[in-house]
Structure 1
Amino acid sequence: MMPGIAHRLTDGLYGLGWSTVKHLPEAAAVRLGQQIADSAWKRRGNSVLRLESNLARVVPDATPQRLEELSRAGMRSYLRYWMESFRLPVWSNEDIAAAFSPKDIHLLEEGLAAGRGAIIALPHLANWDLAGAWVTTRLGVPFTTVAERLKPETLYDRFVAYREGLGMEVLPHTGGSAFGTLARRLRSGGLVCLVADRDLSASGIEVSFFGDVARMPAGPAMLAQQTGALLLPVTLWYDEPPVMQGRVHPAVEVPQTGTRAERTAAMTQALADVFAAGIAEHPQDWHMLQRLWLKDLEPREPGNDRSADS
């Protein structure tokens, strides 16, 4: 399929989801998501194989049968994310409040009340869009985030419009101005939320993650150092529908010694450790269907498995 046709098809499918799924009854949307997830899982495509490969690092003692069970549950969790996201624009504030139950939210509220700004850093667990919508509606706190620039551009525009409709300010990951804008928001006492378990720049910080080396973005730690904002890790997980759980963890402190690079590395490793603990507790809710560890990113010889990129 030609790239232009594929891009238009992708955009059309997402558009169909946002225009159609949001009108389904809740039970029907849940069933549809599970059916799509099970169908994708049975096809054993690249994304499913990559998910299983990633989960094998998270649960190293899992049997092949256990990995298959986790990947099936993982695909159901992933499609639950999409079904919820398609429907979020028509949820009432009461619906959003009932769908998310975070713990230790006082750590965020106290940080914002102190006027120093706060950075929420979280991995690809459960539904970070729902958590963001809860913050904007339940706490009444707007925030700024960064989005990967997707192809086609019309799909990226759909995601920006969707998230802006939930009360978020969305900046493009590329273009060079995002960091400065985020720093200004934090200096004014604002809130920044960043998904931070996968580096998109290929120049991130190397961390030890489930016993091997991965890269994670330096941005959260650098922003905290530059602005004095709190750096709060957050982990999420799914309970029985329609409830999602979450936890705000204690702030990652800026080390008092070392160079800026050393402090950034130490803080990013601290984030990785919190993320790893949350993922290990709820591996089926970690939506990592892409390559992450450096060993998996290395070039392969022709004929070797290069599957499971998403």
Structure 2
Amino acid sequence: MKDRLTEFGFAAGWRLVRALPLPAARALFNFAADRAYRQNGPGTQRLRKNLTQVDPQLSEDLVRDALRSYARYWMEAFRLPSQTKEQFLAGFGMSAEHYDWLKTGMAEGRGVILALPHMGNWDAAAAWVVSNGWPMVTVAERLKPEGVFRQFVAYREKLGMEVIPLTGGQRAPLDVLAERLGQGWVVALLGDRDLSRNGVEVEFFGARTRMPGGPAILALRTGAPLIAADLSFTETQTYAVLRRITPPTEGPLDERVKATTQLLADAYAAGIAEHPQDWHMLQKLWL
């Protein structure tokens, strides 16, 4: 019954939230975020601990703003499937220089690896990529219940991307992603939290954590450009800042993977420090 209620809740969200006028939807989700702040449940407490690692002089205003940012992500996610290509393009921004990085990488036919932390609205970023005419693939954690996982796969496929499961697929995810890069695709991976418990240990805001080695392995295996992308919210857009990552070319493979993953961690930290309120990390992260 709990699983069915969870599935129903997500299905209702995708159907009902998009039908609300935008001001009403914003007010509803801000109300929910403020309520979560007052209740101070486990997710809010974990978010506060994570943000304290980022900023030891943490203010409670930052915690409240971060919960509102997280609520905004969900509000926008529920509304994205009803938007047009023109709205996808208008709702996302980056500098002309960074756009040229992506355009050049795609024109070279090697594909591009975008590695992102859990910031801003990564689904809006994906919709923008696809709306530019670039094929894109991503990996999805196999959520429980299974019905929720299927809903998220269908949601992201409707936005135009290919979705492969992290576990339980017919082929290893890295093999599929390397193949897509060879075909000139964009590969987008969330990279600031290890889901396998077998990630690469890195230093992150002065403490140790593990991050997935997949983006580094793909870059070293294929030679495709590796770009860290941090996302933040403006009043009307999700805005991206891109940071090029140059993997080392010498040394044993495991050392190069570790060094490249550390470079990614440093890039994520730079973006998170600039926009900590838009980092949606409500899970345990540091070792």
Same fold at TM > 0.5: yes
Q: 2:282 corresponds to which letter in structure 1?
A: L
Q: Which residue is 2:154 aligned to?
A: 161
Q: 1:183 corresponds to which letter in structure 2?
A: A
Specify which of 2, 5, 11 is matched with residue 9 of structure 1: 5
Partner secondary structure for residue 141 of structure 1: coil
Specify which of 35, 53, 58 is matched with residue 54 of structure 2: 58
Matches within 5 A, 1:178-189: 178-189=173-184
Specify which of 115, 121, 141 is matched with residue 115 of structure 2: 121
The answer on 1:206 being equivalent to 2:201 is yes
The answer on 1:268 being equivalent to 2:261 is yes
Q: Which residue is 2:127 aligned to?
A: 133
Looking at structure 2, the residues matched to 52 and 283 of structure 1 have their Cα atoms a distance apart, in angstroms, of 11
Q: Larger deviation: 167-176 or 14-23?
A: 167-176
The answer on 1:22 being equivalent to 2:18 is yes
Partner secondary structure for residue 8 of structure 1: helix
Q: Larger deviation: 97-106 or 48-57?
A: 97-106
Q: Which residue is 1:243 aligned to?
A: 237
Q: Which residue is 2:163 aligned to?
A: 170
Once the two structures are TM-superposed, the CA of residue 6 in structure 1 deviates from its matched residue by 2.0
Alignment check: 8 A CA contact 1:102 1:245 kept: yes
Q: Which residue is 1:288 aligned to?
A: 281
Looking at structure 2, the residues matched to 126 and 7 of structure 1 have their Cα atoms a distance apart, in angstroms, of 28
Once the two structures are TM-superposed, the CA of residue 254 in structure 1 deviates from its matched residue by 2.3
Partner secondary structure for residue 232 of structure 1: strand
Q: 2:266 corresponds to which letter in structure 1?
A: D
Looking at structure 2, the residues matched to 187 and 42 of structure 1 have their Cα atoms a distance apart, in angstroms, of 49
Q: Which residue is 1:74 aligned to?
A: 66
Q: After TM superposition, which residue ranges in structure 1, 4 or more long, deviate above 4 angstroms?
A: none
Once the two structures are TM-superposed, the CA of residue 116 in structure 1 deviates from its matched residue by 1.5
Once the two structures are TM-superposed, the CA of residue 200 in structure 1 deviates from its matched residue by 0.2
Q: Larger deviation: 43-52 or 114-123?
A: 114-123
Encode CA deviations 1:87-126: one digit per residue, 9 max, x unaligned: 0000112222221112212111111111122100000001
Unaligned runs of 5+ in 1: 295-310
The answer on 1:97 being equivalent to 2:89 is yes
Q: Which residue is 2:218 aligned to?
A: 223
Partner secondary structure for residue 133 of structure 2: coil
Unaligned runs of 5+ in 2: none
Looking at structure 2, the residues matched to 266 and 105 of structure 1 have their Cα atoms a distance apart, in angstroms, of 26
Q: How many correspondences in the alignment?
A: 283
Identity of aligned residues (%): 50
Looking at structure 1, the residues matched to 57 and 147 of structure 2 have their Cα atoms a distance apart, in angstroms, of 43
Partner secondary structure for residue 184 of structure 2: coil
